[in-house]
Every structure is written in structure tokens, then in C-alpha cells.
Amino acid sequence: MVHEFKLPDVGEGVAEGELVSWQVEEGDTVTEDQAVAEVETDKAIVEIPSPVNGTVRELLAEEGEVVPVGNVLLTFNVEGEEEEPAEPTTESADSEEGTDSQEQVGEADASADAEETETPEGRVFAAPSARRLARELGVDIASVDGTGPSGRVSEHDVRTAAESATESEPEKGAEPESETESEPEPATETETAGGAAAATTAAPTQVEAAERKRTLAAPATRRLADEQGIDINAVPSTEERDGQAFVTPEAVREYAEAQQHAQAADTAAIASGETGPREERIPYRGIRRSIGKQMQKSKFTAPHVTHHDSIDVTELVETRAELKEIAEERGIKLTYMPFVLKAIVAALKEYPYLNSALDEENEEIVVKNYYNIGIAVATDDGLMVPVLKNVDEKDMLQLSSEMNELVEKARDRTITRDEMQGGTFTITNFGAIGGEYATPIINHPEVGILGLGELKKRPVVVGDDVEARYTLPISMSIDHRIIDGAVVASFANQLLEYLHNPRLLLLE
């Protein structure tokens, strides 16, 4: 029996996933819960397990394809059950009666075409290996007639199509009967008036131009080439003198015209959505698209105001240095972040509206009495925000241990959606790469985000003297619908006081 496996809902609010890689191939035997594919959601890569014991029948998506939740991802022949017998067809009956096999193929192709017509959005059913082969051979997969089940295109079909295309090409030097019977040379793809002819003339002789060691040309011709920005040695020669290539002014003008048409073709291709020679088009999806949508929603929903300040944290540096060795003895790397986390929670308790969210539908401000702090992490795949839950209930070493674990999981893409949800306030540390001040975007629907600048020595006035002291710049953005400027300034003063004198955190 054939079992259709649809892409399941892999997380709250996820409507689609990008197929990163197949973990199985057609014909493989799998067991229940065995990983069959890796799918990238808006935040994480998750493994999709097999729901049954059986054999992989068909892979219905290609790596890199975005698959909506609920679409059939692959099919299985369920273990212990016989494969579905093919429906009796006119072809099989004709075969038994000795009908020519070529007629069977023709009828099968017609049937496949009919099924493809009925497929939503004109999708072509093809094995991933067949799609790869089509790309390698330069075959348009949509033009291949599939002879497999339900009109599925196989590698054999692709090779047959490629051989047919090769056989139908005109012999070298022969005039094609029509534009559709042969592919144009690369230089003749421009269909602008005069461009095709000029490019066709230049293309085959450029090899000769590249191979010659010396070019003869009159001084006026060389000046013309310089004015046109053309390398005289690249211009095809039309004459020979004393056995060497001689370039005329007419040849320079023709070559310049061909180059201009080629550049115009590139510009037209870019304007029409195709990739030019100096550009690369990368799909906007996965984490990058998720970040973009979230940033856009936040910036267009919440009016942002950013407050900047800095504080002398020399005592914090000394305190952390003392505790760092103790933490290392327990196998924990102690950074400054746990101190910042504790200071934020202490300040949020005094200014609770900064730990809230706006319920726009019910027009209510929801003040939260729990403290789940998100920490923005830069990864190779984009910005991710693991959330440390119940920060107020944990000590410094617990926070260090949990934070280090979550950051590592975010960077290697093993973090779960649950570990990135439920935040009430966020920290972003752009100072880790040398930044000082910024205007961070709020992680909506939160109402505040704290940006940390680079902690380093700067000149500070102490009494009447200027000393080199460790200072920490901060940039804090707030949702001005909920928080006023005076409130964020007071919150920042309280936060910086805790960081200036970390012993005050002992009272919290």
C-alpha cells in the first residue's frame, strides 16, 4: 500500500519549510521515526522522521525547494504490504497482443502530459536525481515527457530528451531552418537590431585575437581603440601584413558596437529579473526572510526611540576577574552577560512597564511578572534570539551555563523553537564586534531592547583628573506607545548603577 507523507506542522505558526537535504533515496528501506529529511523553518533546521516502516517510493520535492505544510513530501510502500499494482492500461493490453512498443511509449507520454496538465501550478513530477541530471545536460525538465508512474520524469527520460536534442541540431555550418531548431551562440542572444549580426562576427575570431602575440595597427586606429576603451589586441583582425594581424579602424568600430550590444543585453536581462555577469541572485527565504519580516513588522508597528548612555564599569571588570577562576574550576565560562542579566531584572522590577507587551486587539498593556530574557546571537545563517527563562530564579553560574549552551545550539542550528519563544525583554551585544552605539530594533511585541557597546578603557574624569577606566556604552530602544523618554532614562540610570557597583546585585 502506498502511504503519502505530508509535511507536518513543525512549529507554531509555521506555514512552510525549505527542504535542506534528503536523508534517504528512492528504494531505501526505513523504519518508523528514522530521519528522512532536514527542513529549515523560519528559525531552525529540524529533522523530519518517517511515520511508518517501509520503503521510499518517491521523493516529491527537490533540495532547496520551499514546501507548504500539508503538501505531500514523499511516498512510502508500507512494509508488509504489496506495492500498488499499476492500473490496467491500453498500453499493457496492446503489449500482450504484440503491439509495437514504440506506440506504448507514445500513449504513455500522452497520459503523462494529461496528468501534468491537471497538476496544480503546472508542477513537473521528477526525481531529484533526474532534476540534477537535467541541469547538468542543459535540458528543460518541463519539456521532458515522463514515462514513470503518474507521468514522473526519470533519469532515462532526461537522457532520451538530451539525445533527441543533440540529434536534431543542424550540422556545423548549416543554416538553421527556424529560430527554434537550434540554440543561438552565446554572443547572439541579444535580439536588438544589428546586435546579433555584429556579435556573431566577433565571437569566432576572438580566439584568434587572444592567441596572437602582436597586433599591427595605424596610430589613428590605436587612438580610436583607446577612445572606445578597447584593448587593441582583443579586436579581430581583417587583414594580414607580413604574416601578422593588422587591425583597421572599421574592425575597431565593429568590435565596439558588438561590445555595446552585449552590455545592453546584460542590462536588459537584469531589468527582466535575470542575473547579470556581475551579480548573484540568492533566494530570500529561511532565517533571512524571517528576520526581515520581523524587523519590518516591529519598525512599522512600534514607534522607536533610542536612549544612549555609558558608565564606568571598572569595578565590574575586577569582580568578574575574581569570579572567573572559580567558575572555570566548575567547568563554566563566566562572561559579563550574567551580570548584565541580573542588573536588567533588578531594574525591570522597579520599572515593570519595560517588561510588558501591548495587546492591540483588546487595547490592554500586559505587564509580565516573569523575566525571560532573549539574547541576540549572530550566526552564519542570520540573527537568532535564544531565550533564557526565569532569569530572576537563577544564580550567576546557572545563567552562564544555560546561556553558553543556548548560544552554541543557536550557532549549530540545533536549537528548538520553544527555546526561542516567550521572551519579555531582549539584549543585543554589538560591542562584541567593536561597535559603540547603535539603534537596535525592538523584538516585537516586546517594548524594550538593550544594546551593549564595546567594553574597553576610555578616558574618564575622576575628581579633577582624567584616568583610563573601563566603560560600557549602552543603547536602549523602546516602544514609545508604552514607554516615555523619562522612564527609559530612569531605567537606564538604575541599570548602569548596578553595573557600576555590582555588589548591589547581592541584595537582589
305, 482 contact by CB (below 8 A): no
Which residues are known catalytic residues?
A: 480
Neighbours of 18 (CB within 10 A): 21
Number of Cβ within a 10 Å radius of residue 231 = 11
Residue type, 327: A
φ, ψ for residue 160, nearest 5 deg: -60, -45
Assign 329 to helix, strand or coil: helix
Q: Let me know: does 40 contact 7? Beta carbons within 8 Å.
A: no
3-class secondary-structure state, position 47 = strand
Residue type for position 223: R
Q: How far is CA 363 from CA 248, 357, 358, 359, 360, in A?
A: 79, 11, 7, 6, 5
Q: How far apart are CA 315 and CA 471, in angstroms?
A: 10
Is 286 in contact with 64 (CB distance < 8 Å)?
Answer: no
SS3 call for 386: coil
Reference 219, options 209, 207, 227; nearest CA is 227
Beta strands in 233-371 (DSSP E): 239-241, 244-247, 304-312, 356-359, 364-367
Backbone angles phi, psi at 472, to 5 degrees: -125, 115
Cα separation, 99 vs 91, in Å, equals 8
DSSP at 300: H
Q: How far is 75 from 57, CA to CA, in rounded Å?
A: 5
**Which DSSP string corresponds to 97-134?**
TT--HHHHHHHHHHHHHHHHHHSGGGPPPB-HHHHHHH
Q: What is the 8-class DSSP label of residue 332? A: -
